[in-house]
A and B are shown apart, each in its own frame.
Chain A
Amino acid sequence: MTTEKEGKPGERSFEEAVARLDEIVQRLETGNVSLDESLSLFEEGIGLAKYCSARLDAAEGRLEILTGFENGEPKLADFEPEEAE
């Protein structure tokens, strides 16, 4: 239920995570990074990859339809699209 920008505090958006991951991999691939730095970059990269995978592997999303409002509160119902004839 969290949106792109409302992830856990301190966490990046998916897009930012991918961008940083890309930066890290490219940095490592240029080769002129010290061993210490490459290990900490690696650690950060694996963390980001894990986070991204988790964002992708979440359970199937909900499919609902707005049926109206009651006392200002939206009423939702599961939506089942009719089959194509």
Chain B
Amino acid sequence: MSPKTITVSQLTYALKRLIEDNFLLEGVWVRGEISNFTAHSSGHLYFTLKDAGACIRCVMFKSQARGLKFKPADGHEVLISGRIGVYEKSGQYQLYVEEMTPSGLGSLYQAFLQLKEKLEREGLFDPERKRKLPFLPQKIGVITSPTGAAVRDIIKILRRRRPNVDILIFPAQVQGEEAPDSLIKALEEAARFQNLDLIIIGRGGGSLEELWAFNDERLARAIADFPKPVISAVGHETDFTIADFVADLRAPTPSGAAELAVPDQQDLSRQIRQYKTRLFQTVNGKLQHERRILQRITQSRALSFPKQLLLNTRRQEVDLLNERLVRQVKQILTLKRERFLKVLGQLDTLSPLATLQRGYSIVQKEDGVFVKDAAQVEPGELLKITLASGKINCEVLSKES
């Protein structure tokens, strides 16, 4: 009789059921130190959680890792909630991390969340409460440590973007137990300067403990009550504090706060120059347009000096017509004369004058009747004889038929 056999898979599955059903870890946080930390490009985090006597493999999937409020690293003491599971392929049990907080600040972190919720309920973070920053501040208050990179960065960026802004530093402790009181005092002092347009409150990067002063409830209320707009600039991009939530604007870094506080002067100057150019262009264009219209008007004489020009025009038309008339009449006359002369020439050949030239003459009675027959006249009658040259008056002596 052969012994009972099971496959590796069957065994592992049985263990998986045993472990996963019995270690639910509900309401329990596991405390330990991170080692072998790897942030995979997929966004999942892999590490080993250990203490002096043991270790356990951990995995935190991207969807949970996204909600982390800090950057885990080797050596960090953390608190983890999650579930135990068996990864069958490698035969390893591991901790699937749902939530992770720095353990040293575990209770502080809870306090932070509680305070955040409380102030949020009070409406201190409401978007309607946020004051609009002045567009072009003249005087900016800076509440921070007078030493260190933060104040230097803020001044450098403010000066670069807007050289003529006045900067007033309100020195304050930004870490340690006395920091909240020191920051609140600086805010009170700053509030006495009526000509401040806004303030920047913050500090450079540091550990969670170092940034902790900015999670103080009284400081949060002092920021909310400050009479001018407040920009918070605490630590790095990934650091969020209560001060950030209550401020009118959260800057990711101190330099970022300076960028947000003032517009870039060169940009503005350029903008103003562009407006000027556009003003000149449009008005020049307009003037040119009007000038063209004016030109058109002055060129159209009837619109410019209507009556006189109309009269002048009429006069000119009359003159012109007159001229044309005279010219035509002249032309007609010339034609007529030419024709007349021509006809005259023709007439000449038919004219009795030519016949007369040849020695013939014309005889007319006193009443002008031409005498062609001797019977027309009686002796004693006076007749007129037209010769080629001259006339003769004569009397009929006798007649012959």
Write the residues of chain A forming the contact surface with B, with a CB cutoff of 8 angstroms.
Answer: 1-6, 13-15, 18, 21-22, 24-25, 28-29, 31, 33, 35, 38-39, 42, 45-46, 49, 52-53, 55-66, 69, 74, 76, 79, 81-82, 84
Q: What are 8 inter-chain pairs, A to B, with CB distance below 8 A? A: A2-B138, A25-B275, A61-B163, A61-B164, A62-B168, A65-B169, A66-B171, A81-B155
Please tell me if the beta carbons of A56 and B272 are within 8 angstroms of each other in the complex. yes
**In the complex with contacts A1-B139, A3-B197, A35-B286, A49-B164 CB distance below 8 A:** no
With an 8 A cutoff between CB atoms, is B136 at the interface?
Answer: yes
In the A-B complex, the 5 residue pairs with the smallest Cβ-Cβ separation, listed nearest first, are A15-B135, A28-B282, A65-B169, A14-B136, A61-B166
Q: Are B275 and A62 in contact (CB under 8 A)?
A: no
Contact with A along B258-293 (1 / 0, CB 8 A): 000000010011011001101100110011001000
Say whether A4 contacts B275, CB under 8 Å: no
Tell whether, in the assembled complex, residue B135 and residue A13 are in contact, meaning their CB atoms are under 8 Å apart: yes
Q: Quick check: B164 and A59 within 8 Å, CB to CB?
A: yes
Contacts of B195 in A (CB 8 A): 1-3, 6
CB of B286 within 8 A of CB of A66, answer no
Which of chain A's residues have a CB closer than 8 A to the CB of B146? 65, 79, 81
In the bound complex, do residue B152 and residue A42 qualify as a contact, i.e. CB atoms below 8 Å apart? no
Minimum C-beta distance from B127 to chain A (A): 21
Docked Cα-Cα span, A63 to B158, in Å, equals 11
User: Contact at A84–B149, with CB atoms within 8 Å?
Assistant: yes
Q: Is the CB of B152 within 8 A of A82?
A: yes
Q: Are B138 and A4 in contact (CB under 8 A)?
A: yes
Min Cβ gap A74→B in Å is 7
Query: Smallest distance from the beta carbon of A4 to chain B beta carbons, Å?
Result: 5
Contact indicator B164/A53 (Cβ below 8 Å): no
Shortest CB-to-CB span from B185 to chain A, Å, is: 11
Return the chain B residue nearest A64 by Cβ: B168
Residues of A within 8 A of B169 (CB): 63-66, 79
- How far is it, in angstroms, between the C-alpha of A50 and the C-alpha of B137 when the chains are bound? 19
* Measured CA separation A82–B118 after assembly (Å): 40
Q: Which residues of B in the span 120-167 have a Cβ within 8 Å of any Cβ on A?
A: 134-139, 146-147, 149, 151-152, 155, 159, 162-167
Q: Which residue of A lies closest to B171 (CB)?
A: A65
Which chain B residues lie closer than 8 Å to A49 at the CB level?
272, 275-276, 279
Residues A15 and B275 in contact in the complex (CB < 8 Å), given A3-B195, A63-B167: no
Question: Contact: A61 with B165, CB < 8 Å?
Answer: yes
Q: Which residue of chain B has the shortest Cβ distance to A16 in the bound complex?
A: B135
For B168, the chain A residues whose CB sits under 8 A away are 62, 64-66, 76
Instruction: Give Cα A1–Cα B196 distance, bound, in whole angstroms.
Output: 10
Measured in the bound complex, the distance between the Cα atoms of B271 and A49 in whole Å is: 10
Q: How long is the Cα–Cα vector from A79 to B168 in the complex, in angstroms?
A: 9
Q: Name the residue of chain B whose CB is nearest to the CB of A49.
A: B276
Expressed in whole angstroms, the minimum distance between the Cβ of B260 and any Cβ of chain A is: 16
Q: A35-B286, A61-B162 are in contact. List 6 more A-B contacts (CB 8 A).
A: A15-B135, A42-B282, A45-B279, A62-B167, A63-B155, A79-B167
Q: Which residues in B have their C-beta under 8 angstroms from that of A13?
A: 135-136
Contact of B167 (CB < 8 Å), options: A58, A61, A84: A61
With a CB–CB cut-off of 8 A, which chain B residues contact A24? Answer: 279
Query: B47: which A residues are within 8 A, CB to CB?
Result: none
Shortest C-beta distance, B177 to chain A (Å), equals: 22
| Given A3-B195, A25-B278, A29-B278, residue A53 in contact with residue B272 (CB < 8 A) | yes
In Å, the complex CA distance between A61 and B134 comes to 17
Q: Report chain A residues within 8 Å CB of B286.
A: 28, 31, 33, 35, 38
Residues of B within 8 A of A52 (CB): 268, 272
B367 interface residue per 8 A CB criterion: no
